[in-house]
Each structure stands twice: as C-alpha cells, then as structure tokens.
Amino acid sequence: MLDSPSTPDRPAAQRAYAHIKERLLDGRFAGGTLLSENDLAQRLGVSRTPIRHACALLQAEGLLELYPKRGALVVPVLPSEADDVLEVRLLLEPHCARRATAAGAPLVATLREAIAVQERTLVSGTGFPEADRRFHRALVAATGNALLLRQYDLLRDRHQRIAATTVARDPARVERFIAEHRDIAAAVERGEAEAAAELMRAHLRAAHELARRRI
C-alpha cells in the first residue's frame, strides 16, 4: 500500500505501483528482466520519482531487486518458492474442495462463470492466471471459514506469478488446466466430496510438475 504521507505525487506513485505490479504478476515483466526507470516513466507519463517509490515498495514485497543507476531486476520465481507454495496449497485446497461440495448451486454457478472466463482467455491470450485464481478462491471461500480464506489470499501474488510463468512458456497447457477445472466443478456439483478433493490434489501436483520444469 502507498500510505506514506511523504510520498511525492501520491496518485502517480499509486498508478506506477499498480501498473508495474500487474505486469509482474501476469508475466508481462518476466523474471530476469531489467526494468528501466526512464522507460517506465515515459510509458506512464510521470517523473522518475514515483517510479522509484513504486519499485522500492515492490522490492520490499520480494518482486523486484533494485540496482542504482541500472534499474530494477524482476526477481525470478525460484523452484524452492514453487515447492513451498505447493506444500501450502496441498494442505489447504483439497480440504476446501471437499468442504465445498456442501455449498450447492450458488458455488456451482460461480465455478462455471470462472471457467467461462478462462475459456475466453484462450481467444484473447491473456488473463488466465487471474481467472485461474478466481476459480480456486471460490472453492476456498465456499467453506465459509474466514481464516482459511485469509491463508489462501496470502498466496495470491505467488500463485499468479507461478501460473503466469508456466502459461507463458507453454500456452497449450491452459486447455488442460481448464479441463481439470471442469472435472473438479462437476465433482462439486454432484456432491462427491472425496472425488473433488482427489481431483484437486492431482490438479495441483500436475501444475506444479510443469511449473518446476519451466522455472
């Protein structure tokens, strides 16, 4: 959050932060890329000061590494980070998928809508990581457990970056992800708790194996 009262040109810094972070999370600024303050400033039509402030915040979040007079390096997703995220998701999401089978028609409608958005990304070529997270978050939210949802939301940035890295290097894999989501949604609709949990577990492991090869 950009909440420091000393931030120069706060609206410009907020806009720079949102612009850069969005591209870090969706893969347009790929790991290992060196971002130029001058280029970003020109692109956004602002001075370098708000760009520098936004980059400092993103460095604090572990997304950038600043090099004075050179620019900001996009921190790559490390295999160890992907492993850590998988461990947490395997503990959390199969349980939530199991619980979600009791949520009924409203959840099924939400899952179908999320899948429809994912299918549209096949045409547009962009937006799948965010749509992917929307599907998974709906299952966690359906448990009604605010603490579980909070834990899931802590993974938001890492989840999207890992998904973006995987999809960027193998766009064809999106169709398989969507098919697996359909299977999970169908198990939830049928009220098959153990099947939903097992399908989620297999989905997470398959996605992780691909991400591990691509990182």
Our count of domains for the chain comes to 2
By mean pLDDT, which of 28-32, 94-98, 136-140 is the weakest?
28-32
For the stretch 68-107, what's the b/e string if a residue is b when 16 or more beta carbons lie within 10 angstroms of its beta carbon? eeebbbbbebeeebbeebbeebeebbbbbbbbbbebeeeb
The secondary structure of 77-118 as a DSSP string is PPHHHHHHHHHHHHHHHHHHHHHHTTS-HHHHHHHHHHHHHH
136-175: pLDDT as tens digits: 999 999 999 999 999 999 999 999 899 888 887 778 889 9
Whether residues 29 and 127 fall in one domain? no
pLDDT of 91 higher than 80: yes
54-90: pLDDT as tens digits: 999 999 999 999 998 899 999 999 999 999 999 999 9
| CATH number reported for the structural domain that contains residue 20 in this entry | 1.10.10.10
Range of the domain at 23: 10-74
Whether residues 33 and 100 fall in one domain? no
Q: Is residue 159 part of a domain?
A: yes
Closest CA to 180 of 188, 169, 191: 188
C-alpha dihedral (108, 166, 208, 110), degrees to nearest 10: -10
Return the pLDDT at 84.
95
Select from 57, 74, 91 the last residue of a domain: 74
Determine the Cα–Cα distance for residues 215 and 213; give it in Å rounded to an integer: 6
Determine the Cα–Cα distance for residues 51 and 23; give it in Å rounded to an integer: 14
Q: Is residue 97 part of a domain?
A: yes
pLDDT of 3 higher than 90: no
Mean pLDDT value across residues 184-199: 98
Closest CA to 134 of 112, 166, 103: 112
Return the pLDDT at 5.
40
